Amino acid sequence: MTARGHRRGAAAATLVLLALAATGCGGGAVAGAGGGASGAGTDGTAAVLPVAERPPAPDTSGRDLAGEDLALRSYRGKVVVLNVWGSWCAPCRAEAADLEALRGATGPRGVELLGINVRDRSTGPAREFERTYGLRYPSIHDPDGKLLLTFPPALLNPQAIPSTLVIDRQGRIAVAVSGPVTRARLEPLVEQVAEEDA
């Protein structure tokens, strides 16, 4: 291929990645990672991190939408699908049913779902969102988005809502998805992580 062809291909790839990143409510960036990054679908850009390159997930904790204490560390030994969402976010509404279906399908394999609810000043709209979409997994209420700032920004852009991380049984970030997800897109990635230490 000529140098001109390389430049044209790189420019096209950049446009595709920018278009995919813009699907999130926050116009989020592509989740970057070294090593084995997976291909991206129309629902969001995904990065799969090799085991040796996985950073530990921060010690994320707070109050859930019912006011009870909730901490990511209590899920150690499980694979955790951590979804960042807001009741005001249209792509979050679009992915909600798929996330609940994923919870039901992967729970028997030691997979848990946990949400971080952001930018909802009070819990009322978020709790109504849970009722409307039948969500049966808990979410930490993080109205100011402070918890998001504790994650590596290359893997979780605080402006990219929704975003989803898959955390392995050792508490390390294994997969990062910027933008909305579907069950069909996310489930194989979750299964891949769940099979590592099954």
Give per-residue pLDDT as tens, 51-68: 999 999 999 999 999 999
Per-residue confidence (pLDDT) for residue 10, from 0 to 100? 34
* CATH architecture label of 3-194: 3-Layer(aba) Sandwich (3.40)
Tokens of 61: 């904790």
Per-residue confidence (pLDDT) for residue 197, from 0 to 100? 73
Q: Which of 12-16, 36-40, 147-151, 161-165 has the lowest mean pLDDT?
A: 12-16
Q: Read off the pLDDT of residues 119-155 as tens digits, 9 standing for 90 and up.
A: 999 999 999 999 999 999 999 999 999 999 999 999 9
Q: Read off the pLDDT of residues 69-126 as tens digits, 9 standing for 90 and up.
A: 999 999 999 999 999 999 999 999 999 999 999 999 999 999 999 999 999 999 999 9
CA–CA distance, 113 with 103 (Å, rounded to integer): 6
Q: Is the pLDDT of residue 32 over 80?
A: no
Neighbours of 158 (CB within 10 A): 17
**Residue 126 or residue 25, greater confidence:** 126
Per-residue confidence (pLDDT) for residue 99, from 0 to 100? 98
**Domain residue spans of the chain:** 3-194
Given CA atoms 139, 140, 141, 143 in this order, what sign does their dihedral have?
A: negative
Helix, strand, or coil (residue 61): strand
In 49-132, DSSP assigns E strands to 61-63, 69-71, 79-85, 111-118
**Residue 35 or residue 175, greater confidence:** 175
Per-residue confidence (pLDDT) for residue 198, from 0 to 100? 55
In the chain, DSSP assigns E strands to 45-48, 61-63, 69-71, 79-85, 111-118, 139-142, 163-167, 173-178
